[in-house]
Each structure stands twice: as C-alpha cells, then as structure tokens.
Amino acid sequence: MTGAGRFAAVDARSHHALFSDEHEQLRAEVRLFVEKELVPYVPRWEKEEAFPREVFVRLGELGLLGLKFSPRFGGEDDIVADAVVTEELARCGSGGVAAAVGAHKDLAALYLARFGSDEQQERWLRPSLEGTLIGALALTEPDVGSDLAALKTTARRDGNDWILSGTKTFVTNGAWADFLVVGTNTGSSSEDRDLTLFLVEPDAAGVTRRRIRTLGWRPSQTGEVHLDAVRIPDSHRLGQEGSGFYAIMRSFGWERLVMALSAVSAAAMTYEVAKKYALERTAFGRPVGKFQVWRHRFAEMATRIEAARALTYNALRLVAEGEEAREPIAMAKLYSTRIALEVADECVQIHGGYGYATEFSAERALRDAQLAPIGGGTSEIMREIIGRGLGI
C-alpha cells in the first residue's frame, strides 16, 4: 500500500492477526448499519440530547448486543467480535449514543451474564440482548468515585428482603434504564464494609431519579438515582453476599478495554474528519493541509493513533487468550483516551472558527473526548495500576 493510502483512514487492518475474515465481514456489516441508521440522525439526537430506545431493539435484532455471551442467549462466545461492534459504534459521531449502548452491553448485561442466576438471566439478560430492556451500572456516588471500599449506599437484611438506601450519580443510562446493577455496602457498620450487588428496578417504591446534563455524551441519559429505603427481595441479589468487590474488579478490565477501543476508533474518525476538511479548506491559494506545519501535525496524529491501536489490540489479544491483563489494559486506556482528546483538539484547530460552531462535528468530538480519561477509572488510577505492576 502506498504512503498516501496507508494513513487515508487510520483504520483497523484486515490483515491484523487478531481478526478473522468473519470478523472483518462483521465489521463491514456493522459499519454499513452505523452509516445508514445512526450517522444521519446524530445531529438531531445531539440537539435533542436524546435518541430513541428503538436503537437498542434494532441492535438486538441484528444480534449485535450479545456476541460475547453464551449461545444460550443468542451469542457466539466471541469477545473479539464484540470488540469489533464496539469499535464501529464509536464511529457514529456521538459519544453519547456509543456510551449508552456500551453501558448496556458491556456493563449491566456483562454483570448479569457473569454473576446472575438462571432466573435473573432469563428475566433481565435475555431481553437485554434483544434490546427490549435497557440496563445500567450504578456504582459512583456523590462523594465516592474510584474508592469503592468507601461506598455509602447500604443494604440491610429484613427477613427475606433487603432495604437499600443511598444515592448513585453519573450513571450512564441511569435516567431511562429498566434495571440497575447497584453496588452497596452490606457490612454491619460503616467500618465493616462488605460489597454486594443488587438488581433494582426504577419503579420500585422509594426509587427516584433525575437526568444530569453533561458537557459531552449528551444523548446518553446520564442520571442520578436516589434509593430511599427501597425494599427488594433476596432474589434480586446479584451473586453471593459480599462478592461485589470481586465482581467489580473482575469486570473493570473489560469496561476499561472497551473505553480504549472506543477512544481509538473515535480518534481515527476524528482524524478523518480533520484531514478531509484540511484538504478542502484553502488559504493562500492551496489546501491548508498541504502546509508543512499541518502535514507534520497529521503525521504526528496518525503515528499516535497507530500506537494507541497497537496497545489496545495487544490488550484485547491477551484478554481473548484468557489473561487478566490489568497493566496492558491500563496502558491502553491511559494512552488511547489521551490521544483521542488530543486529536479532537487538533480537529477543532484545523477547522478554525468553524471548529467552535455547533453545526460542525469538531466541537462535539472535543466535548465527547473529555470524559474518557475520567470514566471507568481515571488516568491517575491507570498510572497507579501501571506503576504497581512495574513494582514501584
């Protein structure tokens, strides 16, 4: 491939050993779906700060919500195929839409698949993968982010029931989810902490929620959920009592890898937008992109995107082989989310004044990229994981 074509799209390579021919066929099919059924509507969804629930149903009909899950639920036990779907959804041009789908399939549904009983999986997981129910993971609290041991939401036994009290915030899908996976402290005191997960339906007595407006990810239905002595049966407990910390730690890896995959894909898409505009916009009689200063900046962006992709695909390969890959995942998330933000910033700059206008996608890319270094574990936490892995 010539130099001009090599970085024309900065996209996943079909020859990459991680992906089979079937994976590349899936990629083509999902990309066509995204381009036809999502991209044309994104400007309106962004303006309205909402998108239709039918998107989940459509994804379910296409079998795109459950590829990493058991064939029992219509999946294929193929985590790489699921990663392909994640990458392509990130190209829709709305971080909020991609995040909402990701929070559903990669968080709530994943917890159900890994830790749910047969009854719970039939009640919530199967319709989740069909797209008829929307799920959310509720861990973060107003005063508790990364320090999960400090969760203040409590769950106390009352006969065969549990009474839940507390507040969860920054819950992606929280404002419209049909069920929430809620992290609680079931210890006997504030000093005796024992994390347990529960499945909570928003129509239960004592549950109230509100929409949180955000800088980016605007259609994602981010919400705050308040639990005021919510009574739920023990059958809604997800996993064994006290198993919540293990469940969360086990699932964090995939959440962070998904964010890395999405960041690389979004960065590549933003790069394409910036390059197209740079070759169309003229100044002093020639395209802006032909000036050496911008040629070099595009060269730098392309190189960094390729490096982020290599880190992320290495982590994905390790996970597909059954490795925990904590440090490689942390490296991938740390680097790729930062690169996505830098590329978005460059995209705004190359657009000039138009990059600051809401009718162009450049400003949206910059707003959406701001969240990735925070969500799923901040960049500071990623550096801590990497540092400890280095024995420092």
CATH number assigned to the domain with residue range 12-134, chosen from the 4 options 1.10.540.10, 1.10.8.100, 1.10.357.140, 3.50.50.60: 1.10.540.10
Give catalytic residues, as residue numbers: 255
Residue 9 pLDDT greater than 50, yes or no: no
pTM: 0.93
Q: Averaged over 147-164, what is the pLDDT?
A: 93
Q: Give tens-digit pLDDT for 22-74.
A: 999 999 999 999 999 999 999 999 999 999 999 999 999 999 999 999 999 98
Superfamily of domain covering 137-242: Butyryl-CoA Dehydrogenase, subunit A, domain 2 (2.40.110.10)
Question: What are the start and end residues of each CATH 2.40.110.10 domain in the chain?
Answer: 137-242
* CA–centroid distance for 380 within its chain: 18
Question: What are the start and end residues of each CATH 1.10.540.10 domain in the chain?
Answer: 12-134
Is the domain 245-389 a CATH 2.70.210.12 member? Answer: no
pLDDT > 70: what percent of the chain?
A: 95
